[in-house]
Amino acid sequence: MKRLLIPALLAIAAAGLLFFYLQPSTGINTPVAATPMPETPQPDALGALTVREFQDLDAQGQQVRQWIGQPIVINFWATWCAPCVREMPDLERLQQQHPGVRMVGIGIDSADNIRAFLQKVPVTYPILLAGPGGTDLMRTLGNPIGGLPFTLVLNADGSLNRAIIGEINPSDLAATLSGMTPESTHS
């Protein structure tokens, strides 16, 4: 009897997780009224973000400050985050529609997981690695619960334009980006 109890409990737990995972997202993962409003980043958090060295997928150090001078959209994401995965094609489209804006993905995941994921869902914008410490970084940047996805829109001077906790609304973000660069196209 004991030999059947453990597999049965594991099957029930797996079914519960699958049910939870397949349910429509709420709370921190979608842009609904219940989504907490971003807080103001901690003093100097944006400056620290721009000079922090992140590894890219080729293990080369990269800093966000290299893109200061143009608007930047920084999207914190993970391969296991369903809303993150859903919004990546939208972010890719926005990158193509707004060539004067630099999209940057910062993965809260391992390089191997991200590489495997990008084979299935390729993007043309840079992907940097924050690893598990990315959650604490997001908290300093105005995401009090550290939920994913989390997107920052920076002005060309590196100042914060807006922060989005949860899945982006592509039309809303497109409107923001259109107001930031004169060369944006509206296709």
The residues spanned by each domain of the chain are 26-178
Which pLDDT score is estimated for 38? 77
- Amino acid at position 132, single letter: P
Helices (H) and strands (E) counted in the chain, each on its own, are 6, 7
Which two structure tokens, joined as six digits, stand for 4? 């059947």
Spatial contact of 104 and 68, defined as CB atoms under 8 Å apart: no
Which pLDDT score is estimated for 154? 95
Spatial contact of 29 and 166, defined as CB atoms under 8 Å apart: yes
Which pLDDT score is estimated for 67? 95
Q: Which residue, among 100, 71, 96, has the nearest Cα to 183 in the 3D structure?
A: 100
From residue 115, give the alpha-carbon distance in Å to each of 49, 107, 122, 130. Answer: 23, 11, 9, 14
| Bridge partners for 56 per DSSP | 128
CA 144 – CA 178 distance, rounded (Å): 28
Which pLDDT score is estimated for 39? 77
Per-residue confidence in pLDDT tens, the chain, 187 aa: 556 555 555 555 554 443 444 444 433 443 433 456 677 777 688 888 988 999 999 999 999 999 999 999 999 999 999 999 999 999 999 999 999 999 999 999 999 999 999 999 999 999 999 987 899 999 999 999 999 999 999 999 999 999 999 999 999 999 999 999 765 444 4
Quote the DSSP letter at residue 153: E
- 26-178: CATH class: alpha beta
Which pLDDT score is estimated for 174? 97
The whole model's pTM is what?
0.77
Q: How many CB atoms lie within 10 A of CB 57?
A: 15
Strands (E), 37-157: 53-56, 61-63, 72-77, 102-107, 127-129, 150-154
